[in-house]
Structure 1
Amino acid sequence: MARAHEATRDSGNGKVHAQSADLTAAPSVDGANDTDSETGFSPSRLAALAERGIAPLIIILFISVAVATAVYVYRVYVGVTHDAETRLSMMADMTRARLIQDTFSGSGNPIEPMNQTRLADAMPETASSLPVIVFAANPDGTIISSQPFVPETNGQNLNDVLRGAPDAYTQGRFAGFLDLHDNKATEYLAVARRIPMDRGYLMMAVARSDIREQWHREARFSATILLSMDLLVLLIGMAFNWQANRLRQLNETKTAERIRLATALSRGRCGLWEWDLEQGAITFSDSMCALIGMPAKETSLTISELEGLTHPDDVKLRDVAKEVVAGESKWIDHAFRLRHADGGWVWLRARADVTSDISDPERLHLFGIAIDITDKKKIEAISEQADRRLHDAIETISESFVLWDADEKLAMCNSKFIEQNGLGAKDSVVGCTRTDIAKMGDQSDLMAHVQTTDTPIVCRLKDGRWLNISERKTRDGGIVSIGTDITELKRHEEKLVDSERTLIATVADLQRSRQALQVQTQQLVELA
């Protein structure tokens, strides 16, 4: 129902409180929406709001997780790079200090090429955690030692091995990325330190690929979790979108069905209603309210008020409720009148079945339909009035009247017919055939006669009366028979016949007397 009115009853008077729900994205029809009486929102409206609100939220969450993952991965990379640079700087400082202490201890000579072992010993133990390349060069930049040992680099200038090396070893303290002249396009994070007293330079480098491997190891687990969360958010969003589309289609189908139902109820002048017998709550649909001209938003009624709208001569609602509660009836079918908002009366025929609440089988409900039969009642009244007029008309005529249907069963007759045939009450002969009526009455010869022509027939009854019977066929195959009592006419006819006979006899006597006089006259003439 477009407005399904949820009802509760005030204690003591059974007052019905009905809340109505507006239809969303469709005309107001019966059953289109069920509005939450507390929030004022219908489920379909809440679903639409959720769909419009959650989809952008999921997109924002997806983007946020993706951005957070990217930021986290970048921060890990920056942290790993910074940590590598810090380690290189610490190693360079420690190696420089050890070389100054062990290798050069007071001599002004640069590092000799044969000091590979001392260079390895000067490096701190933590150097093994990173694949570090160490170069030791004299003041002009010529490499004189390396660790691990790379023979091909000895004797070469740092500028020939690392691009940008002149800046590195001339500045004395340097940290940055340099390229190798080995056509491998490998980039190194390098740290340079100047050995005091112009004794040379010390440079340490770590390949960026090794830093990236360390970065991958540290960021892989957390990034996988974040990406999994992002993928989960995406899957949830896709599932929600699919479910929302499916729910929208179901709602559209359900709404279309409700619109069709409401249209059918409206066109059929019908309405749905429900009666909670325990709470005394009566719920009307919009179409039901429209039948009695009651606005759907003003359907707060009490049982007494509803009975006040009922015609006093019709069924009592409390009596119906008592019958149902007592188990005397499992369904109802009553016709009654309700007062329309314009002051007139509307005839309704209410049909309903008694059902139990699923959660509480002892709680009884009446759920059914009410049909507007006002026009039918008007037609019945007009038809009844026409029938009365017809009966009055056939009763007032002096002739007997009888109507036979196509099966030669008596459909209608007047009391004159009953009287002429010696029958009982009129109602006892309706539906009987001619043969049955012939057996019931005392004019069997008359009933056994079936007229086959349109020519009237004259019959004499057992009591001496005469009838002139005229029968005509109707369009549906029935027969209309009218019997006129012509007893007086027959008596007059008999009198006329008797008078004619007397007159003829008198004339004959006169003729005989005349002939006798003529004979006597002739005799007198002859005698004279």
Structure 2
Amino acid sequence: MSRALAGSTSERSGTKDSGSKTEAGAQKAAWPDLLSAARFQLERSDGLMRRLIPALAIFFLLILAAYRIAELAADYTDTRIEAETTLELMASVTAAPLNAASTEMPEAGYQTTLKRVLADSLPAGATSSGRTFLISGADGKIAASAPLQPSLEGRPLTDLLGPSQPLTVFGARAGVLSIPIDLDGRDDAEQVLATVRHLDGQLGMIAALQPEAAVFAKWRSALSANVTMFVGTSLVLLAVIYGFFSQATRAEQADEHYAATRARIDTALTHGRCGLFDWDLSRGRIFWSSSLYELLGREPKDDILSFADVADITHPDDIDLLGLAEHLLESGETLVDETFRMRHADGSWIWLRARGEIQPEPGRAEPHLIGICIDITEQHQLAEQSQMADLRLRDAIETISEAFVLWNASNELVICNSNYQALHNLPAHAVKPGTPYKTVMASAENGAVSPQPVQTSQRPGGPEGAYEAQLEDGRWLQISERRTKDGGFVSVGTDITALKKHEERLTDSEKRLKASVADLQRSRKTLETQTQQLSEMAEKYQEEKTRAEAANQAKSEFLANISHELRTPLNAIIGFSDIMTQEMFGPVGTDRYADYCKDIYSSGTYLLNVINDILDMSKIEAGRMQIETEVVNAFEATLDAARIVTGAATEKNITVITDVAEDLHVDADKRALKQVLLNLLANAVKFTPDNGTVSLKVRPRGDKLRFEVTDTGIGISERDIERLAQPFVQVENQFTKTHQGSGLGLAIARSLVEMHGGKLNIQSEVKKGTVVSFSLPLVDEDSCEATAQSA
């Protein structure tokens, strides 16, 4: 069921998500809409279908009858042609050996010999299907038959064939004729296929006969079966048509009753500002009543809506319909009570409260959520206004600096501010509305305001109903109380402890001044000591900084020197291993030696590249790398870099795309620019999986030319981007652990770009790719022409 819901929701996710997720999910989600539209079209053409169905049924029966008649007629013709061909062929095959044996036929036992020769001459299966073979002698009388027919022997063959069929009609190529013949002598002639062949010597003719009843026995059986099937099919179809009309009549009556009932229900729901819904959780389809359409100011277009249609007009912050459906299917809960917003036709939001229960469809296992939606927009607006007024009142109470509390007529807490809660150190549960006064005072940690304070006095000129009281913790409050109209009272307390202690502070001011002077003196001594310590720390910091810079310089010089020392033997190793691999001076011998030479060559090349990177990085850090800017054609530089990485990209089936105009020029060091582009493209190819894409785009932006290298590789997390371009730093993950590298490519590229006054920017997202870009000064066409003329 959740798969059906996921399929319906793909329509909505298709509008929010460019991928993704795929077209197969969208096609599945479109099926309910297509089925609903097809059903709507069928309902509209219901009357036409009722008139067409009988005509179509009768037309179908006529076409079927005509087809079967034509097919049976063709079968009859084929059966007759096959029987005639077979009979003629068997007569010819039987006549050949009889002609050969007629010259050697003895006079004594003539008839017995003829029967034996006839039996030997017949091919296998010749006498099946009612076929009979008759041979006449020179006198024209039947001398032998197969199968044996004693009643026919001795009869003239011409009498058997009938006087209407003279023997001159038959010949060696006369074919097969259909004639009536009386084979059993009972004067009940039957139609028979007959063919005759003349024999040589002492023999007369051979006649092959086959009753048409035997020839067409199977055809008549098939004819009976077809007639029976046609009649049965016609009766069944007529019964189905009758049932269809009967059901259609009852369905029309039920529809009328349903329409009347539904109209009454819709009227009641419309006046009650509510509507019905039926959500098929297994298919993701939702039924809406017309009152619910009117509630949202929309024209009823279809009773059945797809899940995506409803989700599009539902506020995403209030309810997740897909999550609700999955929760109901997985948890087994049956009751739903949700409040959410839906978009009105005028663009506003309508608050609805949906209450329903899951009911299984009778006879099926698919659950349906059936319920009612009530318009609670007015109640919600009133609640918001009340909540807003309450918030404003609370904000006003919280903004005053005094402690405020309001009690009702039953001495129960109505509201208080945080100052009141902090004044008495009250826990959160003690300041809930409705808490009795005694409970609130019992929960006060520093003691309640005493009904008979330790010291109580009316301030001269103070407001009526105001008095001063001292708390148990020693603080003084000025409390102002007033009765409210409902019998409660409001109390506002102001902390006047400072006023009460002002006199004591004046008395003690001299002592505090003396103490302040002493503190100032101590502070002065402390500051002098700290100043001395800071001075010493600054000197030590300067010494350590000088040592660190010297150590860094020594490191850079050491790397530069050791790199030069290593490159010379490496060049020899690479060159000699290449010569041995190519076997320039003769075969090496064993194939394993050749493999070792290839490994030495690849390892030496890799080590030389690492040393070159270290040498370049050490030159940059030591400040010995110098760049000489000139007018460089960006098109040629990008093509050179792309051509170098094409081999590595081809091995991984990666597409390298360059997008740069031919007339763009940049003010840069040509070698440094190529090295930056080569490092960026090599990194992109290295960390892009097979069948990926790496692109290099060059676009002018103002007075700058922006180079941008984009790949579809593994990506870099945001926390690793800052440290990625530092020397010897590689971001370790499952992909990079399988790739070699010194980690200097990006560091060298960043340093060279910064030496040109630019900045290397890296933007990446894990598993989606990386974009590395930098900008260099753009040279206009006039400057290029001037440079070319001077050159």
TM-score, L = length of structure 2: 0.31
Name the structure with the higher helix share. 2
Say which structure, 1 or 2, has more relative contact order (CA 8 Å, 6+ apart).
1
Give 1 or 2 for the bigger CA radius of gyration. Answer: 1
